[in-house]
Each structure stands twice: as C-alpha cells, then as structure tokens.
Amino acid sequence: RFVDDLLKYALSTYPIEVVVSVGAGLDARPWRIDLPASLRWVEVDFQEILDYKDSVIGSETPKCRVERLTVDLNQAEDRHRIYSSVGDDPALMILEGILMYLPGNTVTALTAEWAAIRGPRYCLVDITSSEFTRRSRVSQLVAHVSSTTGLSGEQIYGLLEEKGWVTLERRSYVHDILKIAGARILKIMQAQAAAGRQAAPPLSDISGVYLIGQGAASS
C-alpha cells in the first residue's frame, strides 16, 4: 500500500519517464495500477524468475511499456547495464524489500552509482530499523537469506544521506500504518501488551517507505 501510494505520488509530481523495479519478482504493478501508457517500466531480476513470471502473467496486457533485464546486482557490469538502459531520462528506481538482503558493498555501490548518473534520479526504498525488526520478529524470518555482510536499517539510512539523497515524501511503519489499519493494529498491540511483550517502537523510529531524490530531482 505505501509503495503504491508513493509511486502514484511520484509519477504525478515529478517528470519521471522510466521506472526501474529492482528484484521485480512477481510484482504486478504495471498490470494492476493505472500508469501512463508512455511510461517505460524496466523489470530487473534473475532470468529464471522473469521466465516464471512470464508463465504466470500469460497474455495479460500491461498498462505501460514493460521491458526486462537479467541482472546480478553484485556484478558492477550488470548494474551498469541498468544505467545504460535508462540513459539520461528522469527515472525512479524501486528498491522494495531488497537492500536488507544484499552485501553492504553492493548497497553502497548501487546507491552511489544511481546518484551519480546524469539526469534526475529518484528512489522508492523501504527501511526497517534494528529495533523495529527485532520487535516484529522479522529478523528471524530473513536471517537465513540475508547477506552476512548486509547493512542494518540505520546504516542504510545513513548511507543514503551520505550519498546526497533527500527525502521527498515518507510513509512511517509506526504512525502512518494506524491511518489505514488502526483498529487491527491496536488489537495486536493490546494483545502483545497482555502477553507481556514490549511496546511498539517510538514515533521517531525511521522504519517506513521513503521517496528520495538526488540533484535536480530533489529541487
């Protein structure tokens, strides 16, 4: 929901011509969201995943132009094929649920390289603090697939600031979630309190989905 909302906001607010969905998986946004027909949507993933997606999607028609790239993000030459595909066009990169799994040096390279390319650059990225992850017990679910040299949410947040990325819009996992699922979340919090579990993270927690911009994109 938050990524959808910020994607629609970004496309209606900024002159974005290309969307790059990194680790696209079975993401069906080009098929289920009303997007400009002229928009280029580049799906990036491993070949076997893209092939499987083809078999699932079948003959369904996307709302925009969909292209696909087979890429290993840990390889510099593969990452640069993404950038070459985009060129100088104003572009948004979706990094949803992926940075926490990558090696730290790959995250550092990806965020720095994307920022350095000529032309307005945007990103949609989700960040989860260490405390939020621990309290929600997500760490137990992702530990076996995360890189041993991966970065924490706080480290990713600091890295983005260091590379000059500016927050344009944000949806918080702590307080914005109450606006869309307030009653259900409150019941969960009450149940956790009754079970003697810790309270929810503070409102200042960095966890959430961010729309960030670089250079001309942030002005």
Report how far residue 163's alpha carbon sits from residue 159's, in angstroms, rounded to the nearest whole number.
6
pLDDT at 205: 86
pLDDT at 154: 94
* The CATH homologous superfamily of the domain defined by 2-174+205-214: Vaccinia Virus protein VP39 (3.40.50.150)
For the chain, the structural domain boundaries read 2-174+205-214
Six-digit token pair at 16? 């974005």
Mean pLDDT, consecutive 10-residue segments, the chain of 219 residues?
Answer: 95 96 95 97 96 92 96 96 94 94 94 89 93 62 58 93 94 72 52 56 82 73
Sign of CA dihedral 195, 126, 168, 166: positive
